[in-house]
Amino acid sequence: MSTDTPTYNFVAILLHWLIAVLVVAMFFFGLYAHEQVEALRAGNAELATVVALFNWHKTIGLVVLVLAVLRLVWRLTHKPPPLSPEVPVLERMLARLAHAAFYVLIIGIPFVGWLMISAAESPSYFLNDTALPIPEIWGDDREFRETLGDVHKYAAYGIMALLVLHVAAALKHHYRDGADTLARMVPFIRPRGRQNR
């Protein structure tokens, strides 16, 4: 596949949007599941429902982990198209930093989740099916599990904050700077083509 096309290639775009939708959905899913734990403590939710919610959170989260690793491998083996000259040097550096942080977070958040449930005493199941236990990668350790719970939560807040900056930057480049950044990642936006052809 060509490495200097004006837009990201199909696989990069597909993985970008699939992971973006899943991460945002998983953030709100996680908050909701956490709320249900509180409801359970207050006697307003069923244990089986809360367990099922978390098993689904874990299952989808591990799918995100696999997709994120695939995406990193794809990124390391396929150079992205060069940025348009309208984007100032400082903003290029910030974009690179933000993108690297995204890779760390899209892999780190689900991986920490996996470590966390491994350190927990109770088992977890793919698809909420007791025939499909999620393999454990750490021994039971209550204190470590709690620390990982905090890391998981704050990293999830962190990725949402980064997302706000990322979207703001993408829109600024498109609408204010007239650069073709948005068209590189959104297939139905036609590149203006000035510097890309």
Question: 93-122 burial, b if ≥16 CB within 10 A, otherwise e?
Answer: eebeeeeebbeebbbbbbbbbbbbbbbbee
The Cβ-side half-sphere exposure at 95, using a 13 Å CA radius, reads: 17
CB of residue 149 vs ligand HEM: minimum separation in angstroms?
3
User: Which residue, 34 or 192, has its beta carbon nearer to ligand HEM?
Assistant: 34
Q: Token pair for residue 60?
A: 């989808």
DSSP-H helix ranges across the chain: 10-41, 47-77, 89-119, 142-171, 181-185
Length of the chain equals 197
Q: Which residue is nearest to ligand HEM (CB)?
A: 30
CB of residue 43 vs ligand HEM: minimum separation in angstroms?
18
User: Which residue, 5 or 117, has its beta carbon nearer to ligand HEM?
Assistant: 117
- Contacts with ligand HEM by CB under 6 A lie at 16, 19-20, 23-24, 26-27, 30-31, 34, 54, 57-58, 61-62, 64-65, 75, 80, 83, 95, 99, 102-103, 106, 109-110, 113-114, 116-117, 149, 152-153, 156, 159, 163, 166-167, 170, 181-182, 184-185
CB of residue 154 vs ligand HEM: minimum separation in angstroms?
9
